[in-house]
A and B are shown apart, each in its own frame.
Chain A
Amino acid sequence: MSVDLSQFHQVFFEESFEGLDVMESQLLEMDPADVDDETVNTIFRAAHSIKGGAGTFGFMPISEFTHVVETLLDEIRSGQRVMQPEYVDLFLQSVDCLRGMLSDMQQGNEPEKERPAQLRAEFETILHGAAPVAEAAPTEEEKGSGWLIRLTPYPDLLRTGNEPFRMFRELIDIVGEEHCEIEADTSKLPEFTSLNPEECHLAWQIRVTREIPLADIKVVFEWVEDECDLVYEPLGDVATASPEETAPAVSDTSDAEGIQVPEKVAAAIAETPKKSAEPAAPAKAPKKANAESSSIRVSIDKVDSLINMVGELVITQSMLGQLGQDFDLSRLAKLQEGLSQLEQNTRELQESVMKIRMMPISFAFSRFPRLVRDLGNQLGKKVNLVTLGEQTELDKTVMEKISDPLVHLVRNSMDHGLETTEKRLAAGKSADGTITLNAYHQGGNIVIEVADDGAGLNEEKILKKAMEKGLVPESANLTPEEIHQLVFLPGFSTADAVSDISGRGVGMDVVRRNIQALNGSIEVRSSRGTGSTFIIRLPLTLAILDGQLVQVCEATYIFPLVSIVESIQISRRSLNHVTGSQYVMQLRDEYIPIVRLDEIFGLRDNVQDIDELMLVVVEGDNEKIGIVVDDLLGQQQVVIKSLEQNYTKVSGISGATILGDGTVALIIDISSIGRNITPVKKHQGKSDQAA
């Protein structure tokens, strides 16, 4: 029987990544001058778990690398060494390096070797360097010619998930195979018939025949110290004697019947079926790791509430079932009541299932302290990062996709937005710049703001650059708001020099496109001298949409309810004919362009008189447009299905859904409908630029 360890790899990777996140955030919070013991302990624990897990699964490069990291941490923890700012940097680099190695392994690749080796060398220099190394125990004893370790586990050892053979393997890795002799003492083994495979009856003697600090060995057995009798003895001249001779001498526990199995630990596996978890091929395992599958951690509260709701659903179902067995019209009211209960149950269930996918945005925000710190150093700017609304929940898919645009915005704000310290002081501002990340709910949306207190957008410069690049005609007369929007145009950059941080002009339009792909929008507000704010609006979830069903000809379409401003009856008097077939409508003090769905979708052969139709006014990309439909049907929540998966992207359609009667209805993509009519927008400047 062999247990496939690879099924646990995914969990190991996730836990390790979490551990790295913990290390990183603690390192960033830490003030090297005043180190809190608890912080160091937390970092140490995280590193230690990663090392332990990596060792268990045979990811040797990781456990070896983590080992040196841990050694330095341990010295700091035990007060032998004082935290230095350089150490923090080194630790942070190690976190990055480990993260890289882990994701390589997760994808089944060989991790890179160069960087870990470099960092290891740096750690070694520190560890053996001039820093005040004050070993706790007298060095004389430590440097004995070897060690004899007597390990007598309590019977419960295996129940706590500890596996002696893994510890041995780790020990062998540390001291080298030729310097390690392990003997098993099987004298305590009961009769086979009374053997409980979950109890450990074996004891071991381990002889390390090499000079090595005791602390290095102790690390291996650290986890089981409380669960066994552990004796370390320095190995004197006895070490030269053969194990067979010395064993009876040093081991009182082994009596005459004890079977000595020197160096043949593996043989013990046969005697103890519980050891079957022994990974025969740990080196092969990483290739099988599935990088595609991802999982989320869900709080137990959410799961409990889900179980409650399923319980209610089952009750409703059995009630309806009973009702159906002998139904007559007199019980119609009861049926209706049952159905409405079912509807409520379903809705609640749906909501709580959706909540499972929701994660606090702090997951996305957590990478920024590091980013801001590193980038600040690189740019020579002092920057404070303020994060607000970290508990705001967001769909996991949205979160994953919003991360990169956010990074881009923050980098941009730091590079372009914030001034240098001298300029700040000259402008009468505090020397340190501030970047604020804020997240909150507004209606059916989540709003994320990236704000800086820098110089704000330079309108003249932007306009000049835009004209130079031919993005805007020379004659255009734009309002400041319109100029601000220019930064989202492809190929735009105002950075005087292209740096590796920003300035290539491929940034903001990509950011906007990514956000639009999530059905979201981005806008910028800026005022000279006080800073700029980028505001991202995203739907809470990608999977479900509150929709307005409309009818056009024979077909039913769905408008996202969030983008509908109002629905009105069209009156001929308020319509104005612009060019060709393009109409605009006067709505209070605005002129809004009108789109006929039947026309752009080619649904009707002869265009019907517009008088009898309805107009749905929607807002997409900050522009209002009116969409003509035949009739408004109901509103309902719809589950978004991909049209692209089996077909292809359709202009004007963002997806499809399945209605109550099982037919498919298409969901209108407001922003792409709006783009279709860009050439006839009211602003002369923009229409030229689009043409």
Chain B
Amino acid sequence: MESTMAETNIPDTGMADEQQYLTFIMSGEEYGVDILAVQEIRGWEEPTSIPNAPRYIRGVINLRGTIVPIMDLRMRFGLEHIEYTATTVVIILKFDGEHGERVMGIVVDAVSDVYTIADGSTRKPPELTEDDNSDFIKGLVNVNEKMVILLDVEELLSIKNQLLNVAGSVE
């Protein structure tokens, strides 16, 4: 009996209307991802490239026995490519895909900060273009007079989008 009691009374984890975001810098802009999706942060290492993958998929690495694909977020966003250096950072994100939990790494310039952001303070991104890049922007938020772009991890890394983009990139 005790065990069933315990199961029904799962304590609330934190405040419902607040979320923490890990932010990182790319080309001077600050982007944020849900901190609960972040598994770890690593340095850059050369991955094994995958044949016929979209350009922004740099390849796969061995993360303690798991094969993890690495996406270059600069290339994904159509930003100018810069050399990978010792300070280039790979953020390993985990999220629920169609077939269970998936893990993927994104290459960014540098990790910035962790912010606690109230759900109400985010604004919808303006629908400027038909650019499919705006699909994975969850919202914009103002932190200390500076704009942070919050990303939807699932949208960003989901297979469906990958394949659409692969199809689009084949001339």
Contacts and interface: CB of A to CB of B under 8 A. Distances in A.
A603 B50 CA distance: 10
A453 B35 CA distance: 65
Contacts of A2: 1-3
What size tier do the contact residues of chain A reach? 20 to 34
B49 A555 contact: yes
Interface string B57-69: 1011110011111
B90 interface: no
Contacts of A663: 48, 62
Q: Is the interface of A mostly helix, strand, loop or mixed?
A: loop
Contacts of B67: 641-643, 645-647, 656, 658, 664
B51 A664 contact: no
Given A284-B4, A646-B102, A648-B159, A641 B65 contact: yes
A646 B62 contact: no
Contact of A600 (B1, B51, B61): B51
A669 B53 CA distance: 16
Given A4-B3, A281-B4, A648-B159, A664 B53 contact: no
Interface in B53-103: 53, 57, 59-62, 65-69, 99-100, 102-103
Interface-centre pick from A647, A650, A652, A666 (highest chain B CB count, 10 A): A647
Given A281-B1, A662-B62, A648 B163 contact: yes
B61 A664 contact: yes
Contact of B103 (A646, A662, A666): A646
A642 B59 CA distance: 14
B51 A601 contact: yes
Contact of B48 (A601, A603, A646, A666): A666
B162 interface: yes
Interface residues of B, number: 29
Contacts, number: 75
Nearest to B61: A664
B98 to A, nearest CB: 11
Contacts of B52: 601-602, 650-652
A281 B3 CA distance: 11
Interface string A584-601: 000000000000000011
23 contacts: A284-B4, A603-B51, A642-B67, A644-B99, A645-B66, A645-B99, A645-B100, A646-B66, A646-B67, A646-B104, A647-B50, A647-B60, A647-B67, A650-B52, A650-B53, A651-B52, A652-B51, A658-B65, A662-B62, A664-B47, A664-B59, A664-B60, A666-B51
Given A656-B48, A658-B65, 17 more contacts: A281-B1, A284-B4, A602-B52, A603-B51, A641-B67, A645-B102, A646-B66, A646-B68, A646-B104, A647-B50, A647-B57, A647-B69, A648-B162, A652-B51, A653-B50, A656-B67, A664-B47
Nearest 10 CB-CB pairs, A to B?
A601-B51, A664-B48, A647-B69, A656-B67, A658-B62, A641-B67, A280-B1, A648-B159, A646-B102, A664-B60
